[in-house]
């Protein structure tokens, strides 16, 4: 399975600092930012994924995990062979789709 995780520890620290002033509003804004970023990646990754049967593309989904200490956006391809497509094998060249989606959608380099 290929996946991309967004680490929001810096945003979470900011949210904690802002929480002194506006507790719920600060955390809600961080959550919205994480959801938007992960949704952008989820929309773009299937466009970059190679297609044979369409299974890889249709297996890409996102999840927001909201814990007291971190808000995490996770975008993953559940197709068992997703990581082999993303990173390649000894017999197959890589055909990245998750990392370029992250780079393009969020503007971060992995």
Range of the domain at 79: 2-106
- Under 8 Å between Cβ of 95 and 87: no
Q: Please answer whether residues 9 and 70 qualify as being in contact, where contact means their C-beta atoms are separated by less than 8 angstroms.
A: yes
Give per-residue pLDDT as tens, 38-73. 999 999 999 999 998 989 999 999 999 988 778 889
Query: How many domains, in total, are found in the chain?
Result: 1
pTM listed for this prediction: 0.71
CB atoms within 10 A of CB 99: 19
For 15-26, the pLDDT digits (tens) are 666 656 556 777
């Amino acid at each position: 399975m290929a996946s991309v995780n967004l680490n929001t520890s810096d945003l979470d620290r900011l949210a904690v600092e802002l929480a002194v002033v506006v507790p719920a509003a600060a955390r809600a804004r961080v959550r919205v930012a994480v959801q938007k970023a992960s949704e952008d990646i989820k929309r773009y990754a299937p466009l970059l994924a190679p297609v044979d049967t369409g299974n890889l593309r249709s297996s890409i989904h996102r999840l927001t995990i909201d814990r007291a200490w971190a808000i995490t956006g996770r975008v993953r391809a559940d197709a068992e062979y997703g990581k082999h497509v993303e990173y390649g094998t000894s017999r197959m060249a890589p055909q990245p789709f998750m990392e370029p989606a992250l780079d393009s959608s969020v503007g971060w380099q992995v």
